[in-house]
Amino acid sequence: MAQSLARAPASLESDPRRLRRADPSWDFRGEDTKYATHGIYRYPAMMVAPVVRRLIDEYSPIKNGGRLLDPFCGSGSALVEGMLHGMTAVGVDLNPLAVLLARAKTTPLTDRAIRVEHQAILRRYDEITSAPANVDIQNLSFWYSARSVAELSRLRAAILATESEELRRFFEACFAETARFVSWTRKDEYKTYRMPEEKRKDWRPSVLGSFASVVVHNREKMGDFVSRLPKGVPTANVVLGDTRDPAALPNGTYDLIVTSPPYGDSRTTVAYGQYSSLSLSWLGYDRATVNRTDRESLGGRPAAELTPRPDSPTLDRHLTDIRAKDPARARDVLSFYVDLCGAFRWVAGKLAPGGRACVVVGNRTVKGVRLETDVILSELFEHECGLVHEETIVRGIPNKVMPLRNSPSNIPGQLGETMANEYVLIFNRPRN
């Protein structure tokens, strides 16, 4: 994974006709991106904290006291940063693990409360000498040693007895990370693959020891978050829901949308559900719910036909090229943009007049055709969602934890380019 691709020189990506401007000052090379609760958990394709910070600073019409929405909030980077700016933050995601993490990262807790409850959990762990595994994972022994299963079961029972919902969530987030860490999954992948045998036989982490390191790390991050938080900021409202459904969002309008939607359908890009599956199962979700996460993700159900389609000449051109090679893949690609555009049709309506939407995307290659998602979205959001495209900032991604190459066919050895630059699109909602 993470092979280094030669990045296109910034000047090649600037394109005034498309309002694209490459700006290396947005790379934040070498900067701390994991301050405050941004450093809790490693969720796929997280937004880089200083990027969100600068977007709020430069583009939000109202900062302190304003309202921020992330309709694909993942682990909550935009929500954390919104709160740090004194904003009321709202997020939506359909992955229950993302919702748990986003809630844990945006709920301030005192250092003392975490320490006291950690001790209580350890005491309960000692008292519970055995607990039923009760976890809906197919072929559990393929992923875990018997010892890890026994220890995880006891630890889960000890955490579930935590009375305060806020504290329980914090420890469940630590537990989710521990459950993935101690498993036999390869740690450098976002797809779930088993470690090779020679690594497996040496992989004997203690569940309690791993959990303790995660708790200590996350407690420090929480302390940093709390010390930076302006007084009186409301805790973010994180909704478990499908952004394509207008009922998913609470009423109200927003001054700023900051979001990074998925890069494409979950089968051929990042499978958030698959990545989360072991953690979710240990948190008590059944297999049907876990499997649904990827199916329900944008583009999860391929379009039956290539028409009708939303208004983007660039998308039309790309679909024609892909269809000539593989009609089924063309329908996959279309369904992703149809879903994203459908969601944004009503999400854009939640912006207050004069409000801004900042959308971070990557461009990828399908069947040898480079999909210019930034251009497609600038067309779709202008033609279909009532937004005005102001500009696109092109930034390098020195730190983003993403595979720089993927295998669209999922056949080892067949690699397609993913992205080494990302595109930050800035839109506004006109005042009349």
Ligand X SMILES: C[S@@+](CC[C@H](N)C(=O)[O-])C[C@H]1O[C@@H](n2cnc3c(N)ncnc32)[C@H](O)[C@@H]1O
* Residues lying near ligand X in the complex (CB under 6 A): 43, 45-47, 72, 74-75, 77, 92-95, 98, 242-244, 260-262, 272, 297-298
Q: Please report how close the Cβ of residue 80 comes to ligand X at its closest, in angstroms.
A: 9
**Cβ closer to ligand X: 207 or 222?**
222
Q: Which of 297, 302, 381 is nearest to 344 (CA)?
A: 381
**Cβ closer to ligand X: 262 or 403?**
262
- Indicate the helix (H) or strand (E) that contains 67: strand 67-70
Q: Please report how close the Cβ of residue 413 comes to ligand X at its closest, in angstroms.
A: 26
Q: Please report how close the Cβ of residue 127 comes to ligand X at its closest, in angstroms.
A: 36
Q: Please report how close the Cβ of residue 122 comes to ligand X at its closest, in angstroms.
A: 30
CB 356 within 8 A of CB 59: yes
> What is the C-alpha to C-alpha distance for residues 42 and 343, in angstroms, rounded to an integer?
26
Q: Please report how close the Cβ of residue 432 comes to ligand X at its closest, in angstroms.
A: 30
**Cβ closer to ligand X: 297 or 378?**
297
Q: Please report how close the Cβ of residue 302 comes to ligand X at its closest, in angstroms.
A: 15
> What is the C-alpha to C-alpha distance for residues 264 and 336, in angstroms, rounded to an integer?
6
**Cβ closer to ligand X: 137 or 359?**
359
**Cβ closer to ligand X: 167 or 257?**
257
Q: Which two tokens stand for residue 233?
A: 């900021």
Q: E strands within 265-387? A: 351-361, 364-366, 369-371
**Cβ closer to ligand X: 74 or 396?**
74
Lateral strand order in the sheet of 67-70: 20-22, 388-396, 421-428, 351-361, 254-259, 67-70, 88-93, 237-240
Q: How far is CA 324 from each of CA 276, 313, 368, rounded to the nearest angstrom?
A: 35, 17, 11
Q: Please report how close the Cβ of residue 38 comes to ligand X at its closest, in angstroms.
A: 8
Q: How far is CA 172 from each of CA 6, 30, 57, 135, rounded to the nearest angstrom?
A: 40, 31, 33, 15
- Residue 337 neighbours by CB under 8 Å, 6+ apart: 299, 309, 310, 312, 315, 376, 380
> What is the C-alpha to C-alpha distance for residues 241 and 245, in angstroms, rounded to an integer?
8
Paired sense of beta strands 351-361 and 254-259, if any: parallel
**Cβ closer to ligand X: 280 or 298?**
298
**Cβ closer to ligand X: 27 or 265?**
265
**Considering just the CA atoms, what is the radius of gyration of the chain in Å?**
22
**Cβ closer to ligand X: 184 or 263?**
263
Q: Please report how close the Cβ of residue 356 comes to ligand X at its closest, in angstroms.
A: 17
The residue of the chain with the least Cβ separation from ligand X equals 74
Paired sense of beta strands 421-428 and 351-361, if any: antiparallel
Q: Please report how close the Cβ of residue 394 comes to ligand X at its closest, in angstroms.
A: 18
